[in-house]
Amino acid sequence: MTLLIGTLAYHLATNAVAHADGYSGSPPDETVVSHWTPATYFATNMYLLTNAVWSTHFWLQGVRGLSATPIGMSNNFGGHTLLTLISPRHYLRAHHVGNPPGLIAFLDTHNVVYWRRSVQQVPVGFSDTDVGILDADVPPSVGFLPVVPTNVANYLPATNYVQGIGMNQDMKLFGQPMTFRIPSLIVWDSSAAAPSGLATNWNVTLRVNDSSNPEMLLIGNQLVLVSHNWQVNAGPNYADQWAAINRQMHYLSTNNAAGTDYQLTQFPLTNWPVIHP
């Protein structure tokens, strides 16, 4: 299928291909951090985590939003079952993996580690989505991800895959061809290729313990959150959960006397045409 030039789907595909120029799609090309060693992190070996710095040979180096997902947690193995910040204080995580087990390590854009704890986590309806709140805001140098708007599907083809970005427990960001056909779910396929997008050698098949890590779109130089890993080929559609997520963010802020009332930040899609109502 040939994509119509000027549409969001065309941008997602060609933007990813442009970022991949000069890279082969090998594992080092997809690895977000250097000097990072997967292990179960405790006080005695925390250096295996805190030695990490952002990779300078990485196909998405410099893209905004990388630091919104931590590089690991104490009492947890490697990049298993991470979370993603949606405000300076709130995060989204898969319900089925439970609460974060310990200290959470956020690597900021200057390679400085900031530690936070989760103080409460609550479900979003009967989905696999949980919203949590940290014990303190992260600084702007860590940041958080905007989320696609509720009508994102109106900008994308009703059939066929669009180019997305996935993340797994090995701290790799890779091609994730995905569809938005089902309102409550985003479905992906590591054997597929989005029209005009990355070749299949850029894709990675999810496995056990990749759960909860983020699924995103790359728009310009900004990562935009759409889902998390729930099953090997699907995750909840955050665009369908906007109101419920915002309610739980408000509840957590109030219940924990956060002193702020953060809500989701919408990434505007007004630069692209609506292709169907």
**Residues composing the chain:** 277
| Fold entry, domain 32-144 | Thrombin, subunit H (2.40.10)
Q: Give, in order, the Cα–Cα distances in Å from 166 to each of 48, 55, 121, 160, 250.
A: 24, 17, 23, 18, 28
Domain boundaries, the chain: 8-28+147-236, 32-144
Instruction: Indicate the pLDDT class of residue 158, thresholds 50, 70 and 90.
Output: confident
Q: Give, in order, the Cα–Cα distances in Å from 270 to each of 69, 148, 165.
A: 26, 12, 21
Q: pTM of the predicted model, to two decimals? A: 0.97
Q: Give, in order, the Cα–Cα distances in Å from 168 to each of 82, 176, 208, 210.
A: 9, 11, 10, 5
Q: Distance (Å, rounded) from C-alpha 247 to C-alpha 198? A: 37
Reduce the DSSP state of residue 175 to 3 states and report it: strand
pLDDT of 48-107, one tens digit each?
999 999 999 999 999 999 999 999 999 999 999 999 999 999 999 999 999 999 999 999
pLDDT of 34-59, one tens digit each?
999 999 999 999 999 999 999 999 99
pLDDT value at residue 187: 97
φ/ψ (deg, to 5) at 194: -70, 140
Please state, as a whole number, how many other Cβ atoms lie within 10 Å of the Cβ of residue 1.
11
